[in-house]
Chains A and B, each alone.
Chain A
Amino acid sequence: MSTRIFGSGIRRREDPRLITGSATYTDDLTLPRMAHAAMLRSPHAHARITSIDTSRAAAAPGVVAAYTHADTEGAVAPAPCAWHLPDSDLKMADYHCLAKDVVRYVGDIVAVVVAESRYAAEDALELVDVGYEPLPAVIDPEAAAAEGAPQLHDEIAGNQAFHWQVAGGDVDAAFAEAEVVVSDRIIQQRLIPNAMEPRAALASYTRATGELTVWNTTQNPHIVRFLTSLVLGLSEDKIRVIAPEVGGGFGSKIAAYPADFVTMFCSRKLGRPVKWTETRTENYQATTHGRDHVQQVELAAKKDGTVLGLRCTVHAGMGAYLSTAAPGIPTILHGLMLSGVYTMPAVREDVYGIYTNGTPVEAYRGAGRPEATFMLERMMDVLAARLDMDPADVRRKNLIPRFEDGHDVVTSLTYDSGDYPAALDKVLSHADYAGLRARQKAGPANGAYLGLGLATYVEICGLGPSQVAGAIGFQGGLWESAIVRFHPSGKVHVFIGASPHGQGEETTFAQIVGSELGVDPQDVKVFHGDTDNTPMGWGTYGSRTTAVGGAALALTARKIRDKAKVIAAHLLEAAVEDMEYEDGKFFVKGAPDQHKTIGDIALMANVAWNMPKGVEAGLEASTFYDPPNFTFPFGAHLAVVEVDAETGAVTLKRYVALDDCGPQINPVIVEGQVHGGVVQGVGQALWEEAVYDEGGQLVTGSMLDYALPRADLLPDIEVLSTVTPSPHHPLGVKGIGEAGTIASTAAVYNAVLDALRPLGVSSVRMPLTPERVWQAIRDAKKSAP
């Protein structure tokens, strides 16, 4: 049975409620006496507030109250940043939940109106009178770091939030001995995560008890609870945070947001439930963005393609304030991955985190690793072009050979296991790479240039252990927890600290319990996302839920098995040492017919009529699992594109994704994660960009202007895998949530540039819209000798 459950693509347990419209997301909730909040947001990217008057709004029909910063003074602390990057001269500006004196991005909250209906609250926003004195704004991180740039925070010179460096090996020597040095300037454009469910908070404060319950669209309710206790000065035991159904996050639901704290404040002040749900416009303006790097990068190599070292400087736009986890994203999660899958003797990177008048930037699917993978994978292709080698050959020359139990790399990490050459070879042969190259050599057909793009990657998942968390300044732990409870009938409840929001762990975690204990996954119900009835956990991000929480759960199931064995031995009047376990049955060695099932044991443990001496009643266990190391999933992706030289239009013809996330608990779910991840990365390469104008207005302020991937623009993705277990995870699993996004932007970009190479184009700024590609072709033609 166990083999059938683990690795089986069973239907998801969470789906019946989702496909019938019976699931409850935050905005679906209504409580008695509930009022509605609407946020008045700054229309200016940077301005001084000269006056503010809410009296007309407060008097409007249906309005209950209107508040500004002055009303929250002493009652609401600034929204905290919880990643205190060490050795980086980190300067954290106060992120006031309601702006104090100055607004610093379009979307900064200036006032809140609470009314009997959402329509009434939104109507009254227009009646709040605010005087602004506009100040100069700056959006580009490099420009913001330059002399004479507008300054965002009085006490922070040069807009510099931090300067962080990672260095390993002798990078200067590497460049001194290099036979070739290639370089590029890469813009990792700002992206808008676009979880389909807008963010929302429903806060309900009970004056009589001093208790606050908050339903919140969050990826990490326990972190929100902890930060709420700090921001609102409430005692943590009186706060309950519930993440009900959450409609996607992609990193944008990690942060603990000002609007959420303001909503909680309103409920507390008014003694009634208050709900706030953002509009999509607000989501674009004020829910965190991703990426926003300007990277200057150089790669040193020998003439035969052997890589010697990488050197780079990154200006990372942080937006106007540091969001909850922001400082760790362009640094720890980026810089430590710079050597990727290659034997790289030396690296050095300087990262400057820069305040700008944009929306705060946070983790966005992949969070730091796509920006690292892109940089490295792009440079491998640039190097290949310079040396007139095939990109696959340059990669092969430098790939770390297969290893099963630990490989130290120059950035000080120890990768767990990997077989990068096998991944690359499998992709190349599946796609008939040689055949595609031959077709390409034959020249363009009807003006359509064929391009092939590779990305071989390794990423870092399963964030933990906690000791490392402390060392890197993360203000929390990074372990995970699980409780498994058997009921008398043999049915199981599982409680986990992680908080999935679409990834399907109600199913895969049931499969873990099912395969460890021989129960039907349909009999295992997984509870998550409620701080009052789940154990402490650190949340779902960084592809860590299965990599860390899944380990906690597997170990818990094994504790149950150990106890059950003792009970079974007692019931079968045998010695524990003589007991065997297989597929949910406990029996004496050599006598499998005489057995007790886990169901028999669950009944006995719960009624406890006949227990072995000294064994407690009940069949329940828990584990707090702190992993010994990260996990390192990897893979190889190939994109095949056609570029129309006349129009600049790019068509993605084929996409082959090979990802190795270790053993797959549910391959159908793994494939779904790959599909979604790849498409998000393709979106960055080809369509998506958050564009601000000179004055700091968000030009791509709605779904009309921000180009999201649509069904008709994409081919089917060909999904492959290899299986290299992690040596330190009890199930060997590594994580798959972000892999697709990490590889696909680079693969598609490389493919387009490969197609454009005969036309003399060597760099185009993302996204690769027809206009930009066409312009690049034109410019190359003009400058051709």
Chain B
Amino acid sequence: MTVPVSITVNGQRYDREVEPRLLLVHFLREVIGSTGTKVGCDTSQCGACTVLLDGISLKSCTALAVQADGAEVTTIEGLAAGEALHPLQDAFWEKHGLQCGFCTPGMIMASHELLRVTPDPSDAQIRHGLEGNLCRCTGYQNIVRAVRQAAGTTAGQR
């Protein structure tokens, strides 16, 4: 059995027939081939799959595609404005906030949410705000630096 969904991803609308049990993250990765969003676990712990659903962050392995019917999803691929990186992307690059890069899409999207809610966070607030996203490479320190730098620019505005 399949059901129709209409989901807008990074500004592009997709009308598809999907199984009701299909996870949003699998809709993104497998149905429309948008593989920037990652899957790192099966218990909603790692945050690698974080996207924005109507502007608010969501671990896309915790939602069904049908729950996003009619909604707008923003993934890491939709963050830059054309060639121009989003300030968060630029800050992660500048501050060496990534190594293997696997947690990075989710980490950047979670940071986006953090800055939306707390535009000028302290280091402690950043660390607290990112506790739901795991990174095994960086030890988090440069991620904190990156978010702090991005907070000083225009992050969270877009």
Q: Which residues of A contact B (CB under 8 A)?
A: 9, 11-12, 14-25, 27-28, 30, 118-119, 193-198, 245-248, 250, 279-281, 501-504, 668-669, 671-672, 675-680, 702-704, 708-712, 714, 716-717, 740
Q: Please indicate which of the listed interface residues B21, B22, B103 has the most CB atoms of chain A within 10 Å of its own CB.
A: B103
Tell whether A19 pairs with B141 under 8 Å between CB atoms, given A11-B94, A24-B35, A672-B96.
Answer: no
> Which 10 residue pairs of A and B lie closest in terms of their CB atoms, listed nearest first?
A21-B36, A502-B100, A247-B102, A18-B101, A679-B139, A675-B139, A21-B76, A703-B45, A28-B35, A502-B99
Partner of B41, one of A22, A245, A702, A711: A702
Chain B residues near A668 (CB-CB < 8 A): 96
Contact (Cβ within 8 A) A676 B138 = yes
Question: Nearest-CB distance from A23 to chain B (Å)?
Answer: 6
A19-B92, A195-B100, A680-B136 are known; give 4 further A-B pairs, CB within 8 A.
A27-B35, A245-B101, A675-B138, A714-B139
Asked if B134 contacts A20 (CB within 8 A), the reply is no
0/1 per residue, B114-158, Cβ < 8 Å to A? 000000000110111011011111111111100000000000000
Cβ contact within 8 Å between B76 and A247: no
By the criterion CB–CB under 8 Å, are B144 and A711 in contact?
A: yes
Which of chain A's residues has its CB closest to B78's CB? A21
Cα(A22)–Cα(B80), bound, Å: 12
Assess the B136–A196 pair: CB atoms within 8 A. yes
Name the residue in A9, A17, A676 with the highest tally of chain B Cβ atoms < 10 Å from its Cβ: A676
Cβ of B99 and Cβ of A248 under 8 Å apart?
Answer: yes
Contact residues in A for B76 (Cβ distance below 8 Å): 19-21
Nearest chain B CB to A491's CB is how many angstroms away? 21
Q: Which residues of A contact B98 (CB under 8 A)?
A: 15, 18-19
Query: CB within 8 A of A22: which of B19, B36, B131, B143?
Result: B36
Residue pair B139, A709 in contact (C-beta under 8 Å): yes
Count the A-B residue pairs with Cβ separation under 8 angstroms: how many? 175
Question: Which residues of B, 42-82, contact A by the 8 Å Cβ criterion?
Answer: 42-43, 45-46, 48, 75-77, 79-80
Q: Is the CB of A11 within 8 A of B93?
A: yes
8 A-B pairs with C-beta separation under 8 A: A30-B30, A194-B134, A248-B137, A279-B42, A676-B139, A677-B139, A703-B41, A710-B134
Chain A minimum-CB-distance residue to B89: A19
Q: Which residues on B sit within 8 Å (CB–CB) of A279?
A: 42
Q: Are A19 and B104 in contact (CB-based, < 8 A)?
A: yes
Most chain A C-beta atoms within 10 Å of own C-beta, residue among B100, B134, B140: B100
* Contact B99 A250, beta carbon cutoff 8 Å: no
Residues of the A chain whose Cβ atoms lie less than 8 Å from the Cβ of B42:
279-281, 702
Q: Chain A contacts of B123 at CB under 8 A?
A: 716
B80 CB contacts on chain A under 8 angstroms: 20
**Nearest-CB residue, chain B, relative to A672:** B96
In the assembled complex, how far is the CB of residue A698 from the closest CB belonging to chain B, in whole angstroms? 14
Q: Which of B36, B105, B142 contacts A672 (CB 8 A)?
A: B142
Q: Which residues of B contact A12 (CB under 8 A)?
A: 93, 96
Residues of chain B within 8 A (CB-CB) of A24 are: 35
* CA distance in complex: A193, B80 (Å): 33
Cα–Cα distance between A9 and B123 once the two chains are bound (Å): 23
A425–chain B nearest beta-carbon distance, Å: 25
How far apart are the CA atoms of A712 and B123 in the complex, in Å? 9
Which residue of chain A has its CB nearest to the CB of B22? A119
* B138 CB contact (under 8 Å) in A197, A280, A672: A672
Known contacts A15-B93, A18-B101, A20-B36; decide if A714 and B136 are in contact (CB<8 Å): no
A15 to B146, CA, bound (A): 14
Chain B CB count within 10 A is highest, among A246, A711, A712, for A711
**Contact partner of B40 among A280, A503, A676, CB < 8 A?**
A280
In the complex, B38 has a CB within 8 A of chain A: yes
Distance between A409 CB and nearest chain B CB, rounded to angstroms = 31
Measured in the bound complex, the distance between the Cα atoms of B144 and A140 in whole Å is 39
- CB < 8 Å: which of A247, A675, A678 contacts B101? A247
Q: Interface centre among A193, A198, A680, by most B CB within 10 Å?
A: A198
What's the minimum C-beta distance from A637 to chain B, rounded to whole angstroms? 14
Could you mark each residue 80-95 of chain B with 1 if its beta carbon is under 8 Å from any beta carbon of chain A, else 0?
Answer: 1000010001001110
Q: Return chain B residues, CB-CB under 8 Å to A16.
A: 93
**Whose C-beta in chain B lies nearest to the C-beta of A280?**
B41
- Residues of the B chain whose Cβ atoms lie less than 8 Å from the Cβ of A245: 100-101
Known A280-B43, A281-B42; judge A717-B102 contact (CB<8 A): no
State how many angstroms separate the Cβ of A508 from the closest Cβ of chain B.
12
CB atoms of A196 and B45 under 8 A apart: no
A717 and B77 contact, Cβ closer than 8 Å, known pairs A12-B93, A20-B36, A196-B48: no
The residue from A19, A30, A676, A711 contacting B99, defined by CB atoms under 8 A apart: A676
